[in-house]
Amino acid sequence: MPRATDIMPITDFTRNYKKVIAKLKKTGRPFVLTIDGKPALVIQDAGSFDHRSGLLSPAELEAAADVGRRDTRPRLTIEQLRTALRPRSAKRAG
């Protein structure tokens, strides 16, 4: 999420683009450019864009959660899991 310091008029950006680009690369945060005081463009460096585009969107996260909620397969208790994983020699002794 851009901070208040990461928002500027597009005219200021055109005057100071080298400083803004350096800040983009340093912070990895997107930068909002405004026209007539309203957000118009969002810019960010290529590395952070690639990283962010690889993350799941909120809709994708919700879809994954829905799949998990619908999964009604039986689950093992901790004790059942321990018993199943215990070596055979320990099972005979116990």
Is 94 part of any domain?
no
* Residue at 32 is within a domain: yes
Pairing of strands 7-9, 38-43: unpaired
Domain-embedded: residue 73: yes
What pTM value is reported for the model? 0.52
Mean pLDDT of 31-54: 84
Task: Answer whether residue 79 is part of any domain.
Answer: yes
- Better-predicted residue by pLDDT, 81 or 48: 48
How many independent structural domains does the chain possess?
1
Residue pLDDT, tens place only, 12-42: 999 999 999 999 889 888 889 999 999 999 9
- Among 43, 38, 37, 49, CA closest to 23: 43
Q: What are phi and psi of 81, to 5 degrees?
A: -65, -45
Phi-psi region of 18 (alpha: psi -120 to 50; beta: other; left: phi over 0): alpha
Per the structure, the complete domain to which residue 18 belongs is given by 1-89
Assigned domain for 42 exists: yes
